[in-house]
Each structure stands twice: as structure tokens, then as C-alpha cells.
């Protein structure tokens, strides 16, 4: 197996990827009154922690969860509020569960990248996922792993050299066609992970050094370790954004866009892009929360390619930058200031649109409106302003 050094991920466009989360196990070694993938860590099921990490990644193309049909009620409780495809039913054996899933997601192309992740690893980082995907583009098969540092000895007393030994983690990533071929050829081959099946075909597995914080929850004490890691690793930060645009009184064909939604109004807002004042303010709020420069730095109005561009692009770029810094957007709040049009009839649609763009739930998105009480140019109905606040969790200083 080849190893890749633990380096910072490349900047620039990344590769879309698909995810299977294995959550059909019984977790007998864990104990307790529910399977460990549904045990609560900081008030949230382990499976939900894993899902949230991937759903916050701008390059996620699709995600499916493999469950035990007997756990349907627990699964529905864990994913409440998420818009996910139906779960795939697995079995007591991990290998057959993954194979069932590969047969069901037959719309993928052979060259597509697919990640297989254990639901009981709630602390994998976004940057490690990105490194893994990019390495798989080069090699076809790779896994997160950490070098073994403990002294090893057999129960018979014989010492085992740790030189060259690595402990494999998940996610593991493959070209879809390669992974499916490996499962089809597996027959009665005993394997505890997918790299073993792919290696049996003679395909080399690249190892990408990951974080030791990406622990697998096996015993109750692992939950205590994971809880401490979550508390230690994240700071909560807040960013603020403000923007204002005048109405374009000269062009009656220009649409009025607010929060990614088209509103009925005689005039649109003047600007180089679509002038969505609410999304501009929100983009700046997210950029500010992660210490980035403002929207004008990332999307200069002097560049022709942003002429009439949808502001959705700006917001998704801010989301991707947050993801690259392993920041998790917790909630956002927008206040729109205008005399007209009325925002109330569009509020729920705006919430849903922003939630979709940021991979959030509508309940995590606040959209409010107020007037300027007839004062100033806003009060005279000459334009619209917006204020926005974004709250994120981001890895703290060590």
C-alpha cells in the first residue's frame, strides 16, 4: 500500500463524490439500549454527526445510508428534518450490506468516486475527505489511515514490529466500477473492509494520512473521548454582512431577486450581478465568520463574467470556503429593509431556498423584513437594504 503525506488540501475546484454510510450493524460490543450508531453524542445520534459532515461538503453529489430494517424507527428519528433518499436495507454482514447498496445505486458511472464510511466515525474532517477524494482520482482506490505508534505484542508474548504498519479508517474511496467489481468477485472471501476486496483484485490501495481524532466508536468510553474532542476542537464565531442596492428604474425587464427567489415587482435592483441584496449580505456574513475577505474581493464587479450572474454562486462559494476550513454553518439570519414589495408571502420559499444552498434545514434560516418608516431613500422606496448574521463552528486554535 502506498502512503500520502499529511499535507494541506489543494485549493481550487474539487471532484464531486458519492457516499455510502454503513449503519446496519448491531453494535453488540457497545452495550446500551440502542445500537451504537444511534447513541447520542452531545445530544445528537452518531449517524447524524456523520451525515452532517458530508452534507456540509459542497462537492457531495449523493448520499445513501445502509440500515438494518429493524432500526427503521431509530433511523427516521436520527435523520428527522433532512431531505434524504430512502435508506437501503442491509444485513448482519457488512460485505453483503455494501454489495446490496452498490447494486441499488446503479445510476453511477464506473469512473465516479464513491466513499464508504462507518456511521460510528463521527469526527472525520472535511479537509481529510477532500484529500482522500483527490488521491482517489489519481489512484482509483484509497483509504484514510494513521501510522501505528503503539508497541505491539502477540498474546503469546512475541513482539511485532510496527514499522510500516498503518491503522485503516473510513471513509475509504474508490472508483465505483472498481468497487463493484471487487464485490462481485469476492465470493466467500472474508474481509472486514472494502480495501481488502479491492486489493484481492491486485489493485494497490493508496493510504492518505488522516487525523487520529477520526476515532471509531466501539466501547462506551469512546463516547467520552469523542465528546471531549468535539468540545476542544471547535469555536463558535459570528459574521455580519450588509448590502444595499437601488432599484433600476430604467430597465423594467430586470427581475427582482431576493434570497434566491424571484419576486413580483415593477423593478429589479441595479447591480453588476443579479443584485440579490439579501444573498450578498449573507455571503459577506459567512465570509466574515471564517476570516475571509468580502464578496467584492472574491467576485469583483469589474469582471465581465459576473455580469447578471446569479448570486446563488456567491453564496455557494462562501459555503465551500467554509467547508475547506472545516467550519460548520449553524444558522443564518437575514433582515430585509424595504417599503415594497411585501416579503411575508415569500418568506417560507426564501427560507427553503437558502437552506438548500447551504445544506441547512429551514429552521436554521431566519428571514425577516422591516420598513424604514418612510425615512431616507429606503423610506422613499428607491431601493432595498439587507443585514445578515451567520453563526459557524470552526476548528479552534490549538
Do 144 and 267 lie in one domain? The reply is no
Do 250 and 203 lie in one domain? The reply is no
Do 156 and 210 lie in one domain? The reply is yes
Instruction: Say if 227 falls within a structural domain.
Output: no
Q: How many domains does the chain have?
A: 2
Do 17 and 162 lie in one domain? The reply is yes
Instruction: Say if 197 falls within a structural domain.
Output: yes
What tens digit of pLDDT does each residue of 184-221 get?
Answer: 998 878 888 999 999 999 999 999 999 999 999 998 89
Pairing of β 261-263 and β 256-258: antiparallel
Instruction: Say if 257 falls within a structural domain.
Output: yes
pLDDT for 232? 56
pLDDT for 25? 83
Do 267 and 172 lie in one domain? The reply is no
Last residue of a domain, one of 158, 192, 218: 218
Instruction: Say if 229 falls within a structural domain.
Output: no
User: What integer is the mean pLDDT of 258-265?
Assistant: 94
Do 238 and 213 lie in one domain? The reply is no
Instruction: Say if 224 falls within a structural domain.
Output: no
Last residue of a domain, one of 190, 218, 246: 218
Last residue of a domain, one of 194, 218, 242: 218
Instruction: Say if 228 falls within a structural domain.
Output: no
pLDDT for 339? 92
Residue 70 belongs to domain with CATH number: 3.90.550.10
Do 9 and 119 lie in one domain? The reply is yes
Alpha-carbon distances, residue 393 vs 122, 232, 351 (angstroms): 15, 12, 21
pLDDT for 119? 96
Instruction: Say if 286 falls within a structural domain.
Output: yes
Domain that holds residue 51: 2-218
Q: What percent of the chain has a predicted confidence (pLDDT) above 90? A: 69
Do 61 and 132 lie in one domain? The reply is yes
What tens digit of pLDDT does each residue of 294-323 get?
Answer: 998 888 888 888 888 899 999 999 998 888
Do 169 and 294 lie in one domain? The reply is no
What tens digit of pLDDT does each residue of 63-83 get?
Answer: 999 999 999 999 999 998 889
Instruction: Say if 225 falls within a structural domain.
Output: no
Residue 241 belongs to domain with CATH number: 3.30.1330.50
User: What integer is the mean pLDDT of 116-140?
Assistant: 95
pLDDT for 1? 53
Amino acid at each position: 500500500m502506498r502512503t500520502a503525506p499529511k499535507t494541506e488540501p489543494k485549493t481550487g475546484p474539487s471532484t464531486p463524490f458519492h457516499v455510502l454510510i454503513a449503519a446496519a450493524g448491531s453494535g453488540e460490543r457497545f452495550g446500551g439500549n440502542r445500537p451504537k450508531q444511534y447513541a447520542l453524542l452531545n445530544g445528537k445520534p452518531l449517524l447524524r454527526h456523520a451525515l452532517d459532515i458530508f452534507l456540509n461538503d459542497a462537492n457531495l453529489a449523493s448520499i445513501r445510508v445502509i440500515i438494518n430494517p429493524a432500526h427503521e424507527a431509530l433511523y427516521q428519528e436520527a435523520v428527522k428534518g433532512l431531505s434524504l433518499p430512502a435508506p437501503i436495507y442491509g444485513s448482519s454482514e457488512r460485505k453483503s450490506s455494501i454489495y446490496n447498496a452498490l447494486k441499488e445505486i446503479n445510476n453511477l458511472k464506473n469512473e465516479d468516486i464513491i466513499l464508504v464510511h462507518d456511521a460510528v466515525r463521527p469526527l472525520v474532517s472535511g479537509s481529510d475527505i477532500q484529500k482522500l477524494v483527490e488521491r482517489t482520482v489519481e489512484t482509483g482506490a484509497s483509504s484514510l489511515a494513521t501510522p501505528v505508534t503503539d508497541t505491539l505484542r502477540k498474546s503469546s508474548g512475541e513482539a511485532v514490529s510496527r514499522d510500516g504498519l498503518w491503522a485503516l479508517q473510513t471513509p475509504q474511496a474508490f472508483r465505483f466500477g472498481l468497487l463493484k467489481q471487487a464485490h462481485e468477485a469476492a465470493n466467500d472471501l472474508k474481509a472486514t473492509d472494502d480495501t481488502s476486496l479491492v486489493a484481492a483484485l491486485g489493485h494497490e490501495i493508496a493510504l492518505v494520512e488522516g487525523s487520529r481524532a477520526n476515532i471509531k466508536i466501539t466501547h462506551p468510553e469512546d463516547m467520552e473521548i469523542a465528546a471531549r474532542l468535539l468540545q476542544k476542537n471547535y469555536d463558535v464565531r459570528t459574521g455580519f454582512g450588509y448590502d444595499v442596492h437601488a432599484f433600476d428604474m430604467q430597465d423594467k425587464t430586470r427581475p427582482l431577486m431576493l434570497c434566491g427567489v424571484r419576486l413580483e415587482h415593477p423593478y429589479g435592483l441595479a447591480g453588476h450581478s443579479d443584485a440579490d441584496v439579501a444573498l450578498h449580505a449573507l455571503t459577506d456574513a459567512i465570509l466574515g465568520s471564517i476570516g475571509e475577505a468580502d464578496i467584492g474581493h472574491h467576485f469583483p464587479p469589474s469582471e465581465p463574467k459576473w455580469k447578471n450572474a446569479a448570486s446563488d454562486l456567491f453564496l455557494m462559494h462562501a459555503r465551500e470556503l467554509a467547508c475547506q476550513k472545516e467550519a460548520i454553518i449553524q444558522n443564518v439570519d437575514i433582515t430585509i429593509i424595504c417599503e415594497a414589495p411585501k416579503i411575508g408571502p415569500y418568506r417560507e420559499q426564501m427560507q427553503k431556498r437558502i437552506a438548500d444552498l447551504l445544506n441547512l434545514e429551514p429552521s436554521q434560516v431566519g428571514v425577516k423584513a422591516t420598513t424604514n418608516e418612510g425615512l431616507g431613500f429606503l423610506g422613499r422606496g428607491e431601493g432595498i437594504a439587507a443585514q445578515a448574521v451567520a453563526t459557524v463552528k470552526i476548528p479552534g486554535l490549538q
